[in-house]
Amino acid sequence: MKTLTDHLSQYAAYHQDSRNVATHFVGIPMIVVAVATLLSRPLLLVGDVPLTLGAIVSLLSCLFYLRLDIRFGITMTLLMVLSVAAGYWFAAQGTAVWLSAGVGLFVIGWAFQFLGHYYEGKKPAFVDDLSGLIVGPLFLVAEAAFHFQMRLEVKAAIDARLGKQAQHRGNQTVAAA
C-alpha cells in the first residue's frame, strides 16, 4: 500500500512549474464540484438521509484520505462535504442548471488543468497512474499547508524523494534543485 509520501511525491513529480500548480488550484476544485454535481442525481432517501452516487464516491474518497493521513484526511473530508453540499444544491435546481453547472465546471476545470500541463511541459499524472485523479485534491491541500509552513516534515520527505535538498532558513524551507 502506498503511503502519503509515495502518493504526493509521485504527483509532485508532474507538478514542478508554479504556473501549473496555480492552474490546479482553480481547475481541481471546479472538477471536484462538477463531479459531485453530476453524481448528485438521482437522489435516494435512505430513511431521512439523502444519498447519491456523489455522496458514496465522496465517502470512499474520504476513507482513502483518512487512511493516508488523519490531519490531511480531516481537511479533505471537510472539503468533500462542502463539494457534495454544492453538488446537492446544483442538483436541486432545474435540469438545465444542474447539467450546465456540472458539465460547465467539468470542462472549464479540465481546460485549466491542461493549460497548466502545457506550462509544465509534462502530461498529467493520471495518464501514468489513475490514482492521480484522487491524489490531485490532496496535493492542493498539502501545497496550501506547505505554503503556511505546516507539515514541513511531509514536504521534506517529498523533496527528498524528488531529489531536492532542503535548506532551512529560519521558519522558511527553501528547496534547492
User: What total of structural domains would you count in the chain?
Assistant: 1
Least confident of 10-14, 43-47, 102-106, 134-138: 43-47
Q: What is the pLDDT of residues 78-133, one digit of tens each?
A: 999 999 999 999 999 999 999 999 999 999 999 999 999 999 999 888 888 889 89
pLDDT tens per residue across span 128-163: 888 989 999 999 999 999 999 999 999 999 999 999
CA angle, 161 as apex, 156 and 167 as ends, to 5°?
35
The residue written with cell numbers 527553501 in the block is 174
| Residue range(s) defining the domain that contains residue 101 | 4-176
Task: Kindly indicate the confidence band of residue 176, based on its pLDDT and cuts at 50, 70 and 90.
Answer: very low
- CA–CA distance, 31 with 41 (Å, rounded to integer): 17
Q: What whole-number percentage of the chain has pLDDT above 70?
A: 93
Provide the whole-model pTM.
Answer: 0.88
Could you tell me if 103 and 111 are in contact, meaning their C-beta atoms sit under 8 angstroms apart? no
Burial class (CB in 10 A: 0-12, 13-18, 19+), 68: buried
pLDDT band at 50 (very low <50, low <70, confident <90, very high): confident
- pLDDT of 173 > 80? The answer is no
